[in-house]
Amino acid sequence: MNQPLTGSLRIAMLAPPWFDLPPSGYGGIEQVCSLLVDSLVARGHRVTLFGAGTGTHTPATYARTANKTMSDRVGQTLPELAHVARADRMLDETEFDIVHDHTNVGLLSAIRRGIPTVATVHGNPIGELGDFLSCIDREIGLVSISHAQRNLNSALPWVGTVHNGFSDPEPPKSEPGRGPVLWLARFIGDKGPELAIDACRAAGLPLVLAGKCNEEVERRYLDEVIQPKLGPDVELVINGGRQRIRELMMQARCLLLPLRWEEPFGMVLVEAMASGTPVVTLNRGSAPEVVAHGRTGFVCDDTSELPDALRRTVDLDPAECVAHVRDRFAPDVMAMRYEHIYRRWATTSAPLANLRGLQSATLR
């Protein structure tokens, strides 16, 4: 029986090529990767970060696959394929105990690396993504970011569940916000921006819609669905920078996110609570895992419950929201849980990974 790895681990962290680490604006996966790298290095591990762009503000050794990030091509297959192919070549030149892959297409070549690989699934593992994940080699260990996400496709080769971590460098608010309700997400139907308008109007409260709107599907949704519903009670903030979003969050009475899909995690919910801002959302996906109903916000079963929940958020204690995030979603807690998975999976799959790597090298 193989002995579990002890001591410092040599970890290859393969991030997507879309945004800097940490991201200057939108980039939830990149934010998680950056915090994870920071915490793993602080725990004494040797981390090499494979990413695109000219640099990174993490303490990891940086391995660059492209001179610039590819934010204008998010989700396209070819840029990610090129990024992964270059990373795989560099992986051949260095010894690692484990690869942690945050891409999608990297799972196609992971089995040829000769290094045990775990991969965090950041999207919902159903539909086309579910079909893809069901076809990958079972020697790649998948990590879910919530129990709700994992339950959507329990037949996949899951090796663990780790909630995303979050750390807010700014001090939280000490008193409830008295500003407008804040909606913060991509301008797509899954995030329910028009439901937020309806709920705030029913509650008699002003609303700020602050959203990412770079992709064609987002621009079309904003133009066709949201613009006709706007009025003096709704302020629109498009592609706001981190400082502007921070100001809106600190002023906000609460964050409202009327989910229409099975949210795999919902980083913005954690970000809001970390600032002392309570959350109002619908009971979809991971929402009841992330939000402590009645203490850090309200998880509603139906849209008809949203207006009353919005009015009641002023009774919630900002300190309770902050403590909840520090207890459940601290970056060090995330890193500790991943470390446990790394050690277990590297020990379990190393012999077969080494054999596959030898076979691949022979073929080349």
Distance CA 264, CA 251 (A): 27
Domain annotation covers residue 131: yes
Which residues, 6 or more positions from 303, have their beta carbon under 8 angstroms from its beta carbon?
A: 195, 198, 199, 258, 282
**Count of structural domains within the chain:** 2
Domain annotation covers residue 42: yes
* Statement to judge: residues 67 and 161 lie in one domain: yes
* Statement to judge: residues 289 and 342 lie in one domain: no
* Statement to judge: residues 314 and 334 lie in one domain: no
Note the pLDDT of residue 72.
83
* Statement to judge: residues 334 and 315 lie in one domain: no
Pick from 164, 108, 95, 96: nearest CA to 140: 108
Strand-pair partners of 63: 50
* Statement to judge: residues 116 and 158 lie in one domain: yes
Domain annotation covers residue 253: yes
* Statement to judge: residues 51 and 161 lie in one domain: yes
Domain annotation covers residue 201: yes
* Statement to judge: residues 316 and 351 lie in one domain: no
* Statement to judge: residues 24 and 152 lie in one domain: yes
Domain annotation covers residue 171: no
Check which CATH number belongs to the domain holding 239 and give it: 3.40.50.2000
Note the pLDDT of residue 75.
78
* Statement to judge: residues 90 and 110 lie in one domain: yes
* Statement to judge: residues 288 and 313 lie in one domain: yes
What range does the domain containing 80 cover?
A: 10-165+330-363
* Statement to judge: residues 94 and 215 lie in one domain: no
Distance CA 126, CA 135 (A): 13
Pick from 335, 349, 341, 339: nearest CA to 113: 349
* Statement to judge: residues 21 and 101 lie in one domain: yes
| pTM for this model (two decimals) | 0.89
155 CB burial (10 A radius; 0-12, 13-18, 19+): exposed
Domain annotation covers residue 66: yes
> pLDDT (tens digit, 0 to 9) for every residue of the chain, 364 residues total?
456 677 899 999 999 999 888 887 667 899 999 999 999 999 999 999 999 998 788 999 999 999 998 888 887 889 999 999 999 999 988 899 999 999 999 999 998 888 999 999 999 999 999 999 999 998 999 999 999 999 999 999 999 999 999 988 889 999 999 999 999 999 999 999 999 999 999 999 999 999 999 889 999 999 999 999 999 999 999 998 888 999 999 999 999 999 999 999 999 999 999 999 999 999 999 999 999 999 999 999 999 999 999 999 999 999 999 999 999 999 999 999 999 999 999 888 754 555 454 444 444 4
Domain annotation covers residue 174: no
Domain annotation covers residue 85: yes
